[in-house]
Amino acid sequence: MVAERVTGDATTDYGVPGMAPSVDAVPPDEAALGRLLTILAACWDALDTAAASAEGRELRKGPRGGGRSAPQILDHVIDAHFGYLKRLSWREPHERLDDLTAEFAAITEIDARAIAFALSDEMPATGPRGGKLWTPRYFVRRAAWHILDHAWEIEDRLDG
């Protein structure tokens, strides 16, 4: 069943869910919030599994990311994710951890705090320069897509 059709934009041309459907504007209740956090945690687990399977192995060259190594892809995902968190008006500093599993667990905790902040009365209506902020549902939609897209990229480009 199609619930809503959303007009895409330039990012949609690359498969990115660049436009939020209207349902993403509805604040999640406690049960929905739990599901959203579970989805994000599962995405980080999938990326952790993909990264572990690629450890010490070279990725095939190809159109998906060209010649990036698994560590370069992981750096990209983590850096982009902290950019996404800013779209929830989240600015808490984070020092990267050397252990990837611990890093993903820490990010999962940060996601939970950032979403709780976004659902609070403390979240501003717009960003510091007047830009549109994301809703928690759209943040999860966009972040989950990005994390899984790169987990699958790593899996797709493993030799053998």
pLDDT tens readout for residues 7-37: 888 877 777 888 888 999 999 999 999 999 9
Q: Of 158, 160, 157, nearest to 66 (Cα)?
A: 157
Could you tell me which residue, 110 or 124, shows the higher pLDDT?
A: 110
Is it the case that residue 160 has pLDDT exceeding 70?
A: no
Q: Is position 145 within any domain?
A: yes
Q: Is position 102 within any domain?
A: yes
Find tokens 């919030």 and name the residue.
33
- The partner residues of 158 in beta bridges, in order of sequence, read 59
Is it the case that residue 70 has pLDDT exceeding 90?
A: yes
**What is the number of structural domains in the chain?**
1
Q: Is position 89 within any domain?
A: yes
Q: How far is 130 from 133, CA to CA, in rounded Å?
A: 9
Q: What is the pLDDT of residues 45-54, one digit of tens each?
A: 999 999 999 9
Q: Is position 40 within any domain?
A: yes
Q: How far does CA 107 lie from the centroid of its chain?
A: 10
Q: Is position 106 within any domain?
A: yes
Determine the structural domain holding residue 43 and report its residue range.
35-53+69-157
Q: How far is 6 from 19, CA to CA, in rounded Å?
A: 7
Q: How far is 37 from 33, CA to CA, in rounded Å?
A: 6
Q: Is position 120 within any domain?
A: yes
* pLDDT on residue 45: 97
Q: Is position 13 within any domain?
A: no
